[in-house]
Amino acid sequence: MFDFIEISGGRELSGEILASGAKNAALPVLCATLLCSEPVKITNVPNLEDVNLCLRLLDTFGAETGFNNGIVEVSVPSLKAAEASYSLVKALRASFWVLAPLLSRGGAARVALPGGDIIGARPVDMHLEALGKMGAEIKVKNGVVFATAASGLKGAEINFRFPSVGATHQVLMAASLARGTTLLKGAAREPEVVALADFINAAGGDIEGAGSDTIVIRGKEELAGANFSLIGDRIEAATYLLAAAASGGCVTVAGVNPLHLRPLPDILLQAGCDIAVGRDKITISSQRRLKPLKVTTAPYPGFATDMQALLMAALTIADGVSVIEETVFEGRFGHVAELCRMGANISVRDQVATITGVECLSAAPVEALDIRAGAALVIAALAAEGTSRIYEIQHLRRGYERLEEKFSSLGALIGKRLSDPEDYLLTGC
Ligand code: UD1
């Protein structure tokens, strides 16, 4: 027996939902609690599989953790271990980010290499080079990174060839307890990087320039504790906005900074939707069939790769031919074959998808391959005629809090079901 999500599509969406706290801000902030000698309280934390895995990871280093009603409390008076196993890093890539705090606070770390996944090869060379520049001795053997810095890390000048989000997180954490000042050029500018810097500063760190491509981090001997609230999840917000764009209707997503969604509001305007922006909310009105678009993914403030599958799902029923180029992850088109099973007309060559809009998608049993590919299928199923089933929903549970409840409140017919293995064989998924 296993769960799937059933969606009867073809209904307009309307109403208001509240975005959850951002998963991709929660994970680095939770890793950074390992830097803090005093208790930390984080609010607006989404109750997601990835967050719970991250808390389990912190436990292995001797952290005392509690998670209730969106509030996480973490206390790590001292580090009791220095190793993140392959099974943890495999289950949660972001586990690799503990490398920096373990090294800068404890002087040693053994962390399994995350390896590639469905969206790309995902090397970590920039993480390791940066830590090496800060004085860490690094060896990679049998798929494990062994890093030591017996006399502590030191500030350095680091230049990134590409604004990697994860490598930027790693440097912010490492440099915050290093001796001296670190100058990071070519840094990622994502709102989640700013959130991590804000958290470290709230705990007594000294980081300047987060949100720009040059960040200065003045190392401290110790970080204390902090009370910190997470930003709203811009990717989750984009999911609801793009679902409304595809299904038609009028939907408001509150609890998110519209600037963090850049450039999606402009893209939706170009596609023929009406957009109204408030201080912490955004409203979309859509007549359903979008105008075709040409969009390229890029690091923030470019169009987020995490929104690529979501936008593609909405464009499958656009009135014309759209083109989406993926420049961040080479393999991020896993959703295409499943969308085509629902009647979409998409061809992919190199990193470019050409989406010829069809009038209507038809319901089908489909399989989520990763979080955003799964969310793209939800958007497609909401817009399609008939009843679709989405399998492998554990991917959605990693990134979407109360997904069915939120979509139901907007008028969608969506629910979790339990099927037996014979059903599964019949659907051929
Ligand atoms: C994070 C996000 C992910 C998002 C991505 C880009 C989390 C948990 N994950 O992933 O949802 O899609 O940012 O916005 O926050 N690269 C290298 N060498 C490195 C590091 C990265 O070549 O050392 C390459 C990657 O292979 C990829 C590109 O840089 O092609 C971007 O990766 P990066 O920004 O590091 O993504 P993540 O931090 O893994």
Residue 77's CB is within 10 A of a number of other CB atoms, namely: 12
DSSP state of 103: I
**Out of 81-90, 124-133, 358-367, which region has the weakest mean confidence (pLDDT)?**
81-90
Helix, coil or strand: residue 159: strand
**Mutational test site, ligand 1, from 99, 124, 165, 192, max ligand atoms within 8 Å of CB:** 165
How remote is the CA of residue 39 from the centroid of ligand 1, in Å? 29
pLDDT on residue 426: 47
Place of tokens 């950074």: 32
> How far, rounded to the nearest angstrom, does the alpha carbon of residue 187 sit from its chain's CA centroid?
18
Q: Is 305 in the pocket of ligand 1 (CB under 6 A)?
A: yes
Q: Is 94 in the pocket of ligand 1 (CB under 6 A)?
A: yes
pLDDT on residue 419: 75
Question: Which atom of ligand 1 has the smallest separation from the CA of 126?
Answer: 23
Q: Do residues 340 and 367 make contact, with C-beta atoms less than 8 angstroms apart?
A: no
Q: Is 167 in the pocket of ligand 1 (CB under 6 A)?
A: yes
Mean pLDDT of the chain: 95
What would the mean pLDDT of 43-71 be, rounded to a whole number?
97
Q: Is the pLDDT of residue 356 over 90?
A: yes
Q: Report the share of the chain in percent with pLDDT over 90.
A: 92
pLDDT on residue 1: 60
Question: Which atom of ligand 1 has the smallest separation from the CA of 169?
Answer: 38
CATH domain 23-229 topology: UDP-n-acetylglucosamine1-carboxyvinyl-transferase; Chain (3.65.10)
Report if pTM > 0.95: yes
Q: Whose CA is nearest to atom 3 of ligand 1?
A: 306
Query: Could you report the per-residue pLDDT of 196-210, keeping only the tens digit for each?
Result: 999 999 999 999 999
What would the mean pLDDT of 220-233 be, rounded to a whole number?
98
What would the mean pLDDT of 140-168 be, rounded to a whole number?
96
Which neighbouring-strand residues pair with 415? 6
Q: Is 235 in the pocket of ligand 1 (CB under 6 A)?
A: no
Q: Is 126 in the pocket of ligand 1 (CB under 6 A)?
A: yes
**Mutational test site, ligand 1, from 303, 307, 327, 328, max ligand atoms within 8 Å of CB:** 328
Q: Is 164 in the pocket of ligand 1 (CB under 6 A)?
A: yes
DSSP secondary structure, 338-404, as one string:
HHHHTT-EEEEETTEEEEE--S--B--EEE--SHHHHHHHHHHHHHSBSEEEEE-THHHHHH-TTHH
Question: What CATH code would you report for 3-12+289-418?
Answer: 3.65.10.10
Residue 360's φ and ψ, nearest 5 degrees, are: -155, 145
> How far, rounded to the nearest angstrom, does the alpha carbon of residue 418 sit from its chain's CA centroid?
27
- What is the band of 365 on the pLDDT scale with cuts at 50, 70, 90? very high
pLDDT on residue 148: 98
What would the mean pLDDT of 74-90 be, rounded to a whole number?
93
How remote is the CA of residue 424 from the centroid of ligand 1, in Å? 34
How remote is the CA of residue 168 from the centroid of ligand 1, in Å? 10
Q: Is the pLDDT of residue 118 over 90?
A: no
In the chain, CATH 3.65.10.10 sits at 3-12+289-418, 23-229
pLDDT on residue 116: 72
pLDDT on residue 214: 98
pLDDT on residue 423: 58
Q: Is 122 in the pocket of ligand 1 (CB under 6 A)?
A: yes
What would the mean pLDDT of 399-406 be, rounded to a whole number?
97
Q: What angle do CA 44, 50, 56 make, to 5 degrees?
A: 95
How remote is the CA of residue 36 from the centroid of ligand 1, in Å? 25
Q: Is the pLDDT of residue 422 over 70?
A: no
Task: Tell whether the torsion through CA atoms of 361, 367, 373 and 376 is positive or negative.
Answer: positive
Q: Is the pLDDT of residue 428 over 60?
A: no
Measured CA to CA, the distance from residue 293 to residue 25 in angstroms comes to: 29
Q: Is the pLDDT of residue 277 over 90?
A: yes
**Out of 81-90, 332-341, 351-360, which region has the weakest mean confidence (pLDDT)?**
81-90
Measured CA to CA, the distance from residue 235 to residue 400 in angstroms comes to: 10
How remote is the CA of residue 350 from the centroid of ligand 1, in Å? 19
Q: Is 391 in the pocket of ligand 1 (CB under 6 A)?
A: no
Q: Report the share of the chain in percent with pLDDT over 70.
A: 97
